[in-house]
Amino acid sequence: MTKMPLWDLRWSFLLFIFGQLDVHYVRATWPSPNSSGVIQLLGLFPDKENASKPTDLSVQSRAMFKAAVLLSQQYNITIEGQFIEWQVIQTGGTAINAISSTCQAISASNIVGIVGPGLSRETLIIADFAEKVGIPVVSYSATDPDLSDRNAYPAFYRTVPSDNAAASAIVQLFIQFNWTSCVIIYQNDAFGYDGARVISEAFINKGFKVADTVAFDIATHNYQDDLARSLTTSATRIVLLWAEPTYTSLILQDALDANVLGPSFTWILSSSVSLDSFNQTFYSNLTGMLTIEPTTATTVGASSNTTLLNATYAIWQQYENETFPWSTMVNPYALFAFDATWLLIQSLQQLCSTTTNSSSSCISFDGSSFCFDRRFLNSNSFFDTVTNMTFLGVSGPIEFDVNVTDRINGSYYYAQNSQQPSSNKISFVPVLAYSDQNNWQQYAGENSIIWPGSSSQPPTGIPKLDGVTLRIGVIESDPFTIITIVEGKTQVTGYIKDLIDELQSITNFIPDIRVAPSNETYDALVQAVADGVYDIVVGDVTLTANRRKIVGFSRSIFDNSLRLLMRKTPDASVDLLAFLKPFSRNLWLLILAAVVYAGILISLLEREENEALQNRSIISLCAMSMWYSFGQLVGYGADFDANTAAGRLLTIGLYIVSIVLVASYTANLASDLTISKSQSVISGIGDIKAGKIPSNRIGIRVGTASQDFYLAEISNNNPNYFPIIGANTRQQSYDDLLAGIIDVTFLDTGVAEYITNNIYCNLTLVGDGFDEGEFGIVTPIGWLYGNDLDVSILALRQNGTLDDLKAKWFESQTCPDATTTSTALGIEAMSGLFLVFAVVSGLSLLLFVWKKRYIIINFLFKLAGRKTSFGKKKGSARRRSRKTSKDSQNSQLPPSDFFHF
């Protein structure tokens, strides 16, 4: 293998170096314009002369301007026999340079039209100057909406869509992705200020909101307000940047330094910039941005003049090939520059073709050579010709209206998305295309949008809790928040702790849980959020009107109502006649009358035929008859039956009455006894309002929603209740109830059910719930993350998580359930019945004694006549002997001595 000479190596190295240089540094070889040409078009481009880093806007637009003029020469388009020539000015982006250079060019040359300027702040003064001179100025990139007024700028035209069209496209983009607000950052010149204004107006007309605006000073590179604070405190995370590419790069770098560009924010730019200049460590933050930029008809599939375009590209490649990119990569503003140039060429040709019979030249000026004293003679005709000119340009159809300076039926936009295909490369790729007819559609390249954070889901535009540290205040309240000390460390459990964990798993915030002092009231806890002590408070905090005045509340985390909490009352008091209550007094009298009536009938019907009733006295007969009717009526029956047909028929009637009476009595007795077992002093909040319990016996926890309810609904703002204050007022209310200091207190339903089911079995709830409300998470008013928190809470409610937490912490029960406790009746409930039985049995004994009165008297007389001198043993023997003798005598008494009943 031969060795390469040293000079060959050096030469190859130099070729490599020159090949790697930016093409912008290579001098173009365009043919020099004919200095003797009397017809020239002036092109204004924003870069400085010999700029070290020229922009695509200037380089490519200038190339298309020159190519258009050369193409007119190739097409042999002449004005009064002369080709049109060009003259180029680099303005440096300042209005004073633009007007100064333009004045010099017009004073020294025969300038009949101006293409440009490239910036809105230059165009405002150039358009006024062109009106004075009487020549048209056609801009290819000045989008200031104020320039659309034909009456204010009669000499101005533009082939680029104005910011009015851009505002409409942006509104449609927001509609497509369900965004409703944004922050606008704009450069402080005509382009930035007027662009921000017209976008704000479009938002207002659509019901959207511009949350804030931040001005960027293009002279000092500072911001009107603090950038980081403006964005982080805003209620939206959509940022619209309206600035030129040079300032866009500076603002993006500032945003990266302030950590407001990345996963939490979605940036929409008015122009794309090269992202290669940023540090690779920031590529992940730069991913997901969008640009909204004007484009040409081919992007959306509309018609354009490809013949002109191909011919122009050929000229460009012929004379400045080093700056020509791929045809698909040509800057759209360059195509607008060609159409602006071609519009003037066509208009000049049309103007001069209609004035050929005139003795004077169609392009004549009057006045001195000084620019401000010159005037194009056919200015009005020239303006009318431009206004009425229509043709198919390389960017789409070119047509104007007499009332506005904007082109009509040719406003197209496309959205590019910053994507990172590899770890060391990031760039913008087209993803969406827009036209007035079709709104936003998928771009032909079918690139999917990669959103900030490399997400495939469009952002909501609202601030997210992801990565945000929250100071969360909680207060002890079993079972919502259970505080325990384990090895000297405070541990928090309960419904609230589980809820915080569930919310954290969804939103990925960082919880800093802080337990409030035990003596802090709920109102004080709410005030602590308003004062910035806590970011949020999560607990059994009721949403009330007074609290909403100083703080915000999230969606409901627990549906609540107030309940009455009392000591359990003993069972029903002793009522000796409780067993008689099922029937009224009149009904009892009717039943007694029926027994007597039926007894009389039985004695009449059965006396002659029934052996059980024969040979009896009247009293005995009536007693036996009454016994029969009573037995049949109560369903027991008697010890004899009816023998006659009439008696049996009467018995059937007694059976029918018996069935109904016994069933009715049994049902009513059971109902009365059940009610008596469950009776309380009051039955609900209505009795509290009626004053059945003295106000000083009603315990109210100060600083709670129950206090607000009592004052508003019961006492008419009179604090006549028994105040419960101090540390742990809820525990104090339990103690006061059990100690008899108060008779009733108000308690939230969740806590009330928990403590009566698991802790204080001798306390009970009375009546139904009242003052229905809800518990919510306390937040500052207008909290940035309120929407994100609400969405997360709704998700937990929809997937059943809140119901599961409620079942876990509130449906347990260790106290005996009142519904499962034995319902056996006590002695007290039936004491009256047994007292009646005792009376009846006593009467039976008296009746027995009455019938045995003679035997008893005889026994007592004999007992009194015994000798008392007998010894204890003999006396005892004689007593046993006498007793045996008397028992024998009793057994031998005739039957007539017994009372038959």
Which DSSP string corresponds to 185-201?
EEESSHHHHHHHHHHHH
| Structure token digits, residue 319 | 């004379």
What's the sign of the alpha-carbon dihedral 755, 758, 759, 765? positive
pLDDT the model gives residue 639: 76
Residues 319 and 28: beta-carbon distance below 8 Å: yes
Q: What does the pLDDT average to over 708-712? A: 91
pLDDT the model gives residue 261: 93
Among 389-403, 654-668, 670-684, 872-886, name the one with the lowest average pLDDT: 872-886
Whole-angstrom distance, CA of residue 701 vs CA of residue 742: 12
- Phi, psi at residue 358, to the nearest 5°? -75, 145
Q: List, in sequence order, the alpha helices (H) in 719-826.
A: 729-738, 749-758, 786-798, 801-810
pLDDT the model gives residue 838: 58
Confidence of residue 657 (pLDDT cuts 50, 70, 90): confident
Confidence of residue 627 (pLDDT cuts 50, 70, 90): confident
Average pLDDT, the chain: 85
SS (H, E, C) 566-601: EECCCCCCCCCCHHHCCCCHHHHHHHHHHHHHHHHH
Which of 65-69, 282-286, 731-735 reaches the highest mean pLDDT? 65-69
Confidence of residue 372 (pLDDT cuts 50, 70, 90): confident
pLDDT the model gives residue 869: 40
Helix (H/G/I), strand (E/B), else coil: 829: helix
Residues 462 and 236: beta-carbon distance below 8 Å: yes
Q: Which residue has the tokens 């009224």?
A: 584
Residues 720 and 744: beta-carbon distance below 8 Å: no
**Total Cβ atoms within 10 A of residue 493:** 14
SS (H, E, C) 401-452: CCCECEECCCCEEEEEEEEEEECCEEEEEEEEEEECCCEEEECCCCCCCCEC
Q: Which residue has the tokens 């067993």?
A: 579
Whole-angstrom distance, CA of residue 564 vs CA of residue 405: 76
Confidence of residue 677 (pLDDT cuts 50, 70, 90): low
Whole-angstrom distance, CA of residue 155 vs CA of residue 128: 8
Among 98-112, 162-176, 298-312, 359-373, name the one with the lowest average pLDDT: 359-373
Can you list the pairs that 640-643 forms with residues at least 24 positions away whose Cβ atoms lie under 8 Å?
Answer: 640/610, 640/612, 640/613, 642/602, 642/605, 642/606, 642/610, 643/606, 643/609, 643/610
Whole-angstrom distance, CA of residue 510 vs CA of residue 258: 21
Residues contacting residue 101 through CB under 8 Å, at least 6 positions apart? 44, 89, 91
Q: Which residue has the tokens 């997360």?
A: 792
Residues 673 and 829: beta-carbon distance below 8 Å: yes
Residues 481 and 787: beta-carbon distance below 8 Å: no
Least Cα distance to 168 among 192, 203, 134, 137 occurs for 203
Q: Euclidean distance between the first and final Cα of the chain, in Å?
A: 151
Which DSSP state fits 477?
Answer: B
Residues 297 and 410: beta-carbon distance below 8 Å: yes
| pLDDT tops 70 at residue 169 | yes
Confidence of residue 163 (pLDDT cuts 50, 70, 90): very high
* Chain mean position to CA 580: 62
| Structure token digits, residue 498 | 């589980």
| pLDDT tops 50 at residue 503 | yes
Among 599-608, 623-632, 877-886, name the one with the lowest average pLDDT: 877-886
Whole-angstrom distance, CA of residue 452 vs CA of residue 458: 9
pLDDT cut 70: percent of the chain above it: 86
| Structure token digits, residue 545 | 């009107």
Residues 809 and 540: beta-carbon distance below 8 Å: no
Whole-angstrom distance, CA of residue 901 vs CA of residue 764: 54
Residues 881 and 863: beta-carbon distance below 8 Å: no
Confidence of residue 900 (pLDDT cuts 50, 70, 90): very low
pLDDT the model gives residue 832: 52
Burial of 166 (0-12, 13-18, 19+ CB in 10 A): buried
Helix (H/G/I), strand (E/B), else coil: 184: strand
- Please list, residue by residue across 208-220, b when 16 or more beta carbons sit within 10 angstroms of its beta carbon and e when fewer do: bebbbbbbbebee
| pLDDT tops 90 at residue 443 | no
| pLDDT tops 70 at residue 718 | yes
Confidence of residue 568 (pLDDT cuts 50, 70, 90): confident
Which DSSP state fits 28?
Answer: P
Least Cα distance to 503 among 804, 788, 811, 809 occurs for 788
Residues contacting residue 163 through CB under 8 Å, at least 6 positions apart? 143, 144, 145, 194, 195, 198, 199
pLDDT the model gives residue 363: 85
- Phi, psi at residue 181, to the nearest 5°? -155, 165
Residues contacting residue 257 through CB under 8 Å, at least 6 positions apart? none
Least Cα distance to 673 among 829, 835, 833 occurs for 829
For 265-281, write each residue's pLDDT tens digit: 999 999 999 998 899 99
Residues contacting residue 329 through CB under 8 Å, at least 6 positions apart? none
Confidence of residue 179 (pLDDT cuts 50, 70, 90): very high
654 residue type, one letter: L
**Total Cβ atoms within 10 A of residue 73:** 15
For 737-795, write each residue's pLDDT tens digit: 998 899 999 988 888 888 888 888 889 989 888 988 899 999 999 898 998 999 999 99
Least Cα distance to 372 among 154, 121, 99, 115 occurs for 99
pLDDT the model gives residue 663: 82
Which DSSP state fits 297?
Answer: G
SS (H, E, C) 519-554: CCCHHHHHHHHHCCCCCEECCCCECCHHHHCCCEEE
| pLDDT tops 60 at residue 885 | no
Residues 116 and 341: beta-carbon distance below 8 Å: no
Residues 409 and 273: beta-carbon distance below 8 Å: no
Residues contacting residue 438 through CB under 8 Å, at least 6 positions apart? 300
Residues 106 and 371: beta-carbon distance below 8 Å: yes
pLDDT the model gives residue 817: 66
pLDDT the model gives residue 65: 97
Confidence of residue 452 (pLDDT cuts 50, 70, 90): very high
Among 440-444, 683-687, 837-841, name the one with the lowest average pLDDT: 837-841
pLDDT the model gives residue 35: 59
Whole-angstrom distance, CA of residue 104 vs CA of residue 571: 112
What is the Rg, in whole angstroms, of the alpha carbon atoms belonging to the chain? 53
749 residue type, one letter: T
- Please list, residue by residue across 123-135, b when 16 or more beta carbons sit within 10 angstroms of its beta carbon and e when fewer do: bbbbbebbbebbb
Q: What does the pLDDT average to over 413-424? A: 90
Strand partners, 391: 398
Helix (H/G/I), strand (E/B), else coil: 858: helix
Whole-angstrom distance, CA of residue 871 vs CA of residue 879: 12
For 18-77, write each residue's pLDDT tens digit: 344 444 444 558 988 775 557 999 999 999 988 888 999 999 999 999 999 999 999 999
Q: Which residue has the tokens 């190295």?
A: 13
- Please list, residue by residue across 834-853, b when 16 or more beta carbons sit within 10 angstroms of its beta carbon and e when fewer do: eeeeeeeeeeeeeeeeeebe
* Residue 773 backbone zone (phi > 0: left; psi -120 to 50: alpha; other: beta): beta
* Chain mean position to CA 553: 11
| Structure token digits, residue 381 | 């005709």
pLDDT the model gives residue 341: 98
